[in-house]
């Protein structure tokens, strides 16, 4: 976890610098008194910078304050479900513009239920179709939600 704390500390320092520089570019208070739009964010960025430095310092000294152990990323093969869900989540908002809401939602549900649960295709299709129909009627028909239309549907 020391390495993770060190990386996190560096990241927070970078974030604080980006926001701090942007805050300095904002105009001052109206009438010259009080705090402008950049005042509070600048102070917050300073605080984040300090926390980042503390995290880096602590990582060089010893164990993490919360006593946690090293960060272990999910194994690509053993915990493949994690990566499948992650990939499907990123793919959904991209593919919805190609397949449209109904088809994309059906494909998303079918793929994940089949891969995660290893159910029979009959069960997968039944659950996916009924869920998609419910979602369509609940959100598109009843709530008039303007979902993106695909190239085909």
**Contacts with another protein, residue ranges (CB under 8 A):** 1, 4-5, 8, 12, 15, 19, 22-23, 26-27, 29-30, 33-41, 44-45, 47-48, 51-52, 54-55, 58, 64-68, 71, 74, 79, 81-82, 84-86, 88-90, 92-93, 96, 105, 108-109, 112-113, 116-119, 127, 131, 135, 138-139, 142-143, 145-148
Q: At closest approach, how far in Å is the CB of 3 from another protein?
A: 11
**H-only helix segments in the chain:** 2-25, 39-61, 80-117, 121-135
- Asked if residues 136 and 104 have their Cβ atoms less than 8 Å apart, the reply is no
Contacts of 70 (CB under 8 A, 6+ apart): 1, 3, 4
How is residue 78 written in tokens?
A: 């053993």
Q: At closest approach, how far in Å is the CB of 56 from another protein?
A: 11
């Amino acid at each position: 976890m020391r390495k993770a704390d060190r990386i996190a500390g560096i990241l927070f320092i970078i974030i604080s610098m980006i926001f701090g520089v942007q805050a300095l570019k904002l105009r001052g208070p109206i009438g010259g008194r009080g705090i402008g739009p950049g005042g509070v964010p600048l102070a917050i960025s300073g605080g984040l910078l300090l926390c980042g430095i503390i995290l880096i310092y602590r990582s060089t000294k010893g164990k993490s304050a919360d006593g946690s152990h090293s960060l272990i990323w999910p194994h690509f093969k053993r915990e493949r479900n994690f990566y499948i869900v992650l990939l499907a989540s990123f793919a959904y908002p991209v593919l919805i513009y190609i397949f449209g809401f109904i088809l994309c939602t059906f494909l998303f549900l079918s793929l994940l239920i089949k891969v995660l649960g290893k159910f029979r295709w009959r069960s997968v299709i039944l659950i996916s179709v009924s869920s998609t129909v419910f979602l369509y009627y609940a959100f598109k028909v009843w709530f008039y939600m303007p979902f993106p239309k695909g190239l085909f549907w």
